[in-house]
Each structure stands twice: as structure tokens, then as C-alpha cells.
Structure 1
Amino acid sequence: MQINVAVVNAFVDGAADTGAAMNGAALENTIGGNPAGVVLDADSLTSIQKREIARKVGLSETAFVSKSSVADFKLEFFTPTRQIAHCGHATIATFSYLAEQGLVPAANTSKETIDGCRSIRMQNGFAYMEQLKPKYIDVTEDETAILKSLRLAGGSVTVAPIIANTGNSFVLVGVRDLETLKRIQPDQILIEELSEKWDLIGFYVFAQETCHAGRDASARMFAPRYGIQEESATGMAAGPLASFLHDHLGIHKRAFEIEQGYCMPNPSPSCIHVSLEKSGTQITSLSAGGRGVLSRMLQIEIDATL
């Protein structure tokens, strides 16, 4: 059975032109962003087939689009090893591709997932996905192990580890500057062990120094528990980070821009826009968004009997 897969780069950073360089290193990915697989008309595919397709596509996540009775679209997300409830960059990739194909019925649309429905907004060529109000969990008991997993000395850390969740849980760790962020060489085995213990998607490490003026943070994301050594844009992590910057670091804005992908060994520049909804000083909900660009089409062959 032949399956058509669109590879769409999500959260492509419009401020990063293809000729730019990061600290003197040429950018490897001339589009930038975080690529996700998108499969339309996936209603007849089994979970085993979807997992096999995701494995063969080989990207951090592949989204499968089916009909829904409770939203405009049903989305299921698979890494090469398992299904996950939500995926920010694959959501942005999917709705950008659906809009390009003329399939999005209105600017305000929606997705059904295994964890409920979420609102999606299309605006000025960007797709925005709804997230929940933030929750925070203290991880002081594992602070030493978390810093060890990132091979960070205490003096290079400006924000102690904390878990933040707006739908998925991530450990946030703040470091001194971009150079510190770039030098991180993670212990993926230890990160996976800690992620399993705390039921995390992964670690989101950030610096408030940024590559482009006016941005709020630059970040890296490690999620070996889900088969992701590092990815270049993570919408479901940028939301918690923006919330943390607002709630704990006193940056009381409604709109944040989070860079990602610049400090990877092979840079792939990305930018995630986060918009907060507030009642007084309290965040009630938020949305993370960006633009998606079709990179290429793949044709994957799988066993129809799976």
C-alpha cells in the first residue's frame, strides 16, 4: 500500500534568511523550522500502520488527519516509536498544509485529539493552536540530576529546573547565555530516565539572550523518551516557557516570541509566537503559532495487512 506524506516545516522563522549564519556557522537547513509528516485521509489506517508510516518517515512526529464528528478535523500524532496526545509543530504543519490545499473551512477551526478538542486559529498565514492555562511542579529533589543530565555547572544556570505544563509537561531550565545553550551536550539516557519518572515530554533549556532583537528567549529541546534526541521547534514547550516568563520572571506581556533551532549542532532557525489570554494578572489560556512551509512529498510503502 502506497501512502502519500507531505513533509511540512513548521515554525519557519521569517527573520532568518537562508544566507544567514549563526556564530559563523552556515545554516544547514535552508528552510528552517521543524519538519513534520502530514498524512491526509487517514481514516482507514490502523494504529499499527500509522506507527509504521511514522517510523519510515523518520521525523520526530507525523500527523494523521481523519474525519471528526466533534471538530473540523481529527488529528493523531505518532513519533517513530509511539503515539502521543499532542504535538505543536505537527499541528502547525498540518493546518498550514490543509490551508494551502484549500481545505480549512474558516479562520477559526478545530482539531480533535485523543486528549480532547482544541481550537485552531488561522491568521495572516500563521496557524495558532490553543493550550491550557499553565501548571507548575517543583522538582527541587532532582535538581542535581537534571543539571547533571545537561552537563551544566551551577554557575551557568540562571533559572532552577521547574516543570511547566499547558497540556504536556516539560522541565524548564534557564542558562546564562547563548554560548552556554549552544555548548550543552546532553546525557540522553539520564534525561530519558528523569522524563519517565516525571512523565515529561522532555527538557526545554532556554537563555534570555537571543539571536534576533526583540525576542524573549532562545531554546533547545531534548526528548529521548519519545525517540527525539533534539528538535528545532516545539510549540507545546514554547507555551509553558512563555507562561513561566510571565508568571515567574515578571515579563508581563501578552505576546512572546521564542527562538529555537539556532543553537543545535546543525542549526534550523525557528520562531514560535505565543499569545496569552489573561484575566487580570492570571493566564486563563494561550495559543502558540507560526507558519508552515511545504518542503517535499514522500511516498511510503507499508504492508496493507498490518
Structure 2
Amino acid sequence: MGSLKKIVIVQVLNAFAENGKGGNPAGVVLNADELSDKNKLEVSKKVGLSETAFVSKSKTEDYKLDFFTPTKQIAHCGHATVATFSYLKQIGLLKNDSSSKETIDGRRKIEIIGDLAFMEQLVPKYTDVNNEESIILKSLGLKKKDLIPNAPIKLVNTGNSFILIPVKNNEILKNIIPKFDLISDVSDKFDLIGYYVFSTDTKSDATSRMFAPSYGILEESGTGMAAGPLACYLFDILKIKKKTFHIQQGKYMKEPSSSMIIVKLQINEGEIKNLMAGGKGILNRQLKIEIDD
């Protein structure tokens, strides 16, 4: 007798779609209560997208979400959260405009505004990485003169850690040739998801690129958990005093898939007290994945 096979249905949604196109595809598996972590990893590997969200029942929140990349589980994923809650809204499973998710890293509030889903992130923590500046520049093939003057490279965490690298213009951003082995070394040293390189020389508030090779993601088209830190950086460090930031990503990938991530900051007496990052999820296709039971 051969081993038993199990069929798992995966919805693929493009989160952070810009004008109904592009976006970052994420897998969404509903009713995942019976799947083991090993099953989830196998599904994620076979789906082959940067993240897949597994939705199961929660005793404390509306839903429990587990996120897997093709190589490991991660605590949070902005675009897969947006994909999941957009989909739950579209199929009529969300009754209210306020919802919540339970994750391995605690609970987060979710807000639905029209057909956009927003996820709460934590207040930003900034860490100095000046000592690593030369290796960070080298890992992107950049020179010091390519950076925005008086805008330090910073590690920012609103739930996941990213190193933010401000470059002078879109031309520099577009022409970056990442050295993934070096980026992985820096990422492992600081326990990062990856790098978020950005330029403010753009129609939206910033245009960005995200590299996360140590998570098996060479480049990603829309990263909500990185756009949150970037909006905080723009507000706190570049002193752009706005409450809503529009962050574009994915435009300069080998196969461009332009995404738009909206970050809303709640400010009290000049300080960020809360932030929500979100956008729109559009159903792209459905997959049937066969795994060993």
C-alpha cells in the first residue's frame, strides 16, 4: 500500500494590488486545523510563493493564522494577512469591519475599510547599525554617496526586523545588484527578515525593494511588515509629518509586479502610538496541493 495522500485547497490572492493589477501573491488555506506544521511546510514549499497563511479556529480571536515560507515558519506576514482578511471579507465570513488574528507572536487587530484590509503593527523600535554600514553597502553594490545625506541606515522593528537603506533616487534603486550571500550574513547576524531599500524620489511617498534571501525570498513585490517600519522612519527620522503613507514596491523586480501598501500612523503628541498597514487583495487562482498524510 502507498502512503495516503491529502489534498489541500490553496487560494492565491495578490495582496497590495495597485489599480487592480500587480501585487504580491500569497497562499491562503482555510480550515487548516487538522494540518500539522510539517504539512504546512510541505504545502508552502509546493505552492512556492514567499508566504502561505494557514487559517484555523482561535479560542481568543476571530481567527488563528500561521505563516510559512517555503523554508520555515515566521511570526507575521503583512501581505498574507491582507490576502487572508480580504478573502474572508469577499466570501462573506467577516461580519464586521473590525477583526483580529491570533499568531505565534500574540494578537493583532485587523481593520477592514471598504475592500482594503489593514493589520496592526507594534510601535517602532530603532537600532543603530552604523558599524555595519560598509558591509551593508557592499552587499548592495552601493557607495556612501548613493545614500540620502543625513539619513542613517537603521534597523527598524514593528514586529519583524528590517534594515532600511535610503538611496538618493530611483535610478540607484533600480540598478542595485544584490549580493545575496552577504545580505544573508547580515540578516542572520541581526535576526532580520531582510533589507528594505527605498527612495523618496517618487510620486508615492516612497518606492522600495525588499531582499530576504535568508528566508528563501530573493526579492518580494509587496511587504507590509517592512512598509510599516518605513512609514515610521519617514515620520521619525526624515521628519515627513504625515499620518498616511503610500509605499510602492515591486516596480524594479526582474518581473515587475507593482504593489501599493498604505500605512496609517496614529500620532499622539508627535509620537507614533499605533500603526496599521494594508491594501487590497485580489483573488488570482486556486491550487490543489497533494501532500503525504
Q: Which TM-score bucket, shorter chain as reference?
A: over 0.9
1:98 aligns with 2:49: no
Count of paired positions: 286
Whole-angstrom CA distance in 2 between matches of 1:265 and 1:300: 27
Which residue, out of 275, 297, 301, partners 2:264?
Answer: 275
- Alignment match, 2:191: 199
Counterpart-to-counterpart distance in 2, 1:177 and 1:253? 21
The CA distance in 2 between the partners of 1:49 and 1:3, in whole Å, is: 10
1:159-210, CA deviations, whole angstroms, 9 ceiling, x for partnerless residues?
3311011111100001111111010110111101100000101000000012
Determine helix, strand or coil for the equivalent of 1:45: coil
The TM-score normalised by the length of structure 2 is 0.96
Is there any run of 5+ residues in structure 2 with no aligned partner, and where?
1-5
Give the superposition deviation at 1:105.
2.6
Deviations 1:267-295 (A, max 9, x none): 10100000001111000110001000000
Letter of the 2:243 partner, please give it.
Answer: R
Q: Cα distance, 1:299 vs. partner?
A: 0.3
The one-letter code sitting in structure 1 at the alignment partner of 2:248 is E
Q: Deviations over 1:118-177 (max 9, x none)?
A: 000001110000011111000011000000001101111113311011111100001111
**Map 1:72-111 → 2, pairs under 5 A:** 72-111=62-101
Q: Distance in 1 between matches of 2:121 and 2:267?
A: 13
Matched with 1:166 is: 158
- The alignment yields a C-alpha RMSD, in angstroms, of 0.8
> Residue type matched to 2:264 in 1?
S
Aligned residue in 1 for 2:52: 62
Could you tell me whether the CA contact under 8 Å between 1:118 and 1:131 is conserved in 2?
A: yes
The whole-number CA distance in structure 2 between the counterparts of 1:131 and 1:142 is 26
Q: Secondary structure at the match of 1:301?
A: strand
Unaligned runs of 5+ in 1: 18-30
| Distance in 2 separating the partners of 1:209 and 1:240 | 18
2:207, 2:43 → 1: CA distance?
32
Deviates more, 1:98-107 or 1:218-227: 98-107
- CA-to-partner distance for each residue in 1:85-127, whole Å, 9 max, x for gaps? 0000000000111111111131000000000000000011100
| Structure 1 match to 2:119 | 129
The 4+ residue runs of structure 1 with deviation greater than 3 A are none
- The one-letter amino acid paired with 1:260 is Q
Paired with 1:284 and 1:221, the residues of 2 have a C-alpha distance of 25
Partner of 2:153, secondary structure, is strand
Once the two structures are superposed, residues 200-256 of structure 1 have per-residue CA deviations (whole angstroms, 9 ceiling, x without a partner) of 01000000012xx3x110000000111100000000000000000000111011110
Query: Partner of 2:175 in structure 1?
Result: 183
Percent sequence identity over aligned pairs: 56
Q: TM-score, normalised by structure 1?
A: 0.92
Q: d(CA) in 2 for partners of 1:284 and 1:166?
A: 12
